[in-house]
Amino acid sequence: MFQRVALVTGASRGIGRAIAHTLCKANFAIIVASPEIENNEKVAGEICACGGECMTLDFNVTSLESVKAGVASVMEKFRRIDVLVNNAGITRDALAMRMKPADWNLVLQVNLTGAFLVSQAVIPHMIRERWGRIINIASVVGEMGNPGQANYVASKAGLIGLTKCLALELASRSVTVNAIAPGFIETDMTAVLTDEQKQKMLEHIALKRLGKPEDIAAAVKFLASDDASYITGHVLKVNGGMYM
């Protein structure tokens, strides 16, 4: 059976880890890419234990040199990159009037510029094969806003705009570009919230539960498949009915 190759940034934990596992089960070779070397190896070990093929990358999406070197090493090993999942992301929350410029810049660099740099490095290989899937992990707040997250919201809104632009640029080469906008998902980011904060969130979610990383991974699996070949420039809301 033909095996496609998927590069997943931020794959060392949370949503990225779930995406890596789900795509592995769908017969994708996985590149576990993040700067968290120890966690990368742990995820890779889990994938290999399930019979999947993978490699790890010490990968800093804010560094053009790191991105270029990482993509080159993937091409050397697999000769192709069929799917790119731009999942790497961070938060540095504060009210806008108190937000430090360094925190604004860092979040934009990781969440938006990083996705651009990795996409730019991968696109020529997808164009050569005349097949590709770029899937950007945005956020519900990129569409609806959220107080105290001006940097994060701006980065995710920008990622949605980048998705639509790349979709138009690459459609003629059979490369689709889509975004997934998760709602509140059970990850390290939500684990620090108090029970009261979580209860307030649930009041706004139609399905009355937080999402799981596997919910996002399932959406990625679909968009990465041949079944999604006529979908591009789309923002898939996976938020339990929180925002419609």
- For 142-165, what is each residue's pLDDT tens digit? 999 999 999 999 999 999 999 999
Q: Which of 142, 152, 160, 211 is catalytic?
A: 152
Token pair belonging to 88: 């790497």
How confident is the model over 49-94, as pLDDT tens digits? 888 899 999 999 999 999 999 999 999 999 999 999 999 999 999 9
Calculate the average pLDDT of the chain: 96
pLDDT-based confidence at residue 1 (cuts at 50, 70, 90): low
When pLDDT is averaged across residues 23-47 and rounded to a whole number, the result is 97
CA torsion angle for 204, 209, 213, 219 (degrees, to 10)? Answer: -70
User: In the annotation, is 152 catalytic?
Assistant: yes
CATH, range 4-195+214-238: 3.40.50.720
Contact call for residues 136 and 163 (beta carbons, < 8 A): yes
Instruction: DSSP letter for 96, please.
Output: G
When pLDDT is averaged across residues 106-123 and rounded to a whole number, the result is 98
Map out the domains of the chain as residue ranges.
Answer: 4-195+214-238
Look up residue 31 and give its amino acid.
Answer: I
pLDDT of the residue at 2: 81
* Strand order across the beta sheet in which 235-238 lies: 54-58, 28-34, 4-9, 83-86, 132-137, 175-182, 235-238
CA angle 236, 224, 218 (to 5 degrees): 60
Higher pLDDT, 157 or 187: 157
Q: How far apart are CA 132 and CA 135, in angstroms?
A: 10
pLDDT at 194 over 90: no
